[in-house]
Amino acid sequence: MRRYSTEESAALVAACTAAAVHRRDHHHGVAVTCHPHTVEVVHLGHRAVTVCHDCASDSGFLPEREAEALADTHRSQTLDGASAPLCPAA
């Protein structure tokens, strides 16, 4: 059995967490989406991932406050039906 380093173990847990959250993604028809988009922030230690279940995208793991702010911004951007990509600010 292979032994994983601490960093490898943490990366595996993060990848499995993000994959599990994406199982709740919505699969609407092309013309139908939620307004605002359904966005979830999943915390893992001091980091968090922002997941949009309508875009089926995520931010990758960010500091908690950045992930929360990104979720709020994405919800606001999609409130009127606009479709903005979910990505961290540069």
Give the residue with greater pLDDT, 58 vs 88: 58
**Around Cβ 68, how many Cβ atoms within 10 Å?**
15
Distance CA 85, CA 6 (A): 32
Amino acid at 47: R
Across the strands, what pairs with 63?
Answer: 47
- Domain borders along the chain are 6-77
Residue 45 pLDDT = 87
Segment 17-30, tens digit of pLDDT: 777 777 776 666 66
56: left (phi over 0), alpha (psi -120 to 50) or beta: left
Largest Cα separation within the chain, whole Å, is 52
Whole-model pTM: value is 0.73
Q: What percentage of the chain has pLDDT greater than the value 70?
A: 81
Does residue 22 or residue 40 have the better pLDDT? 40
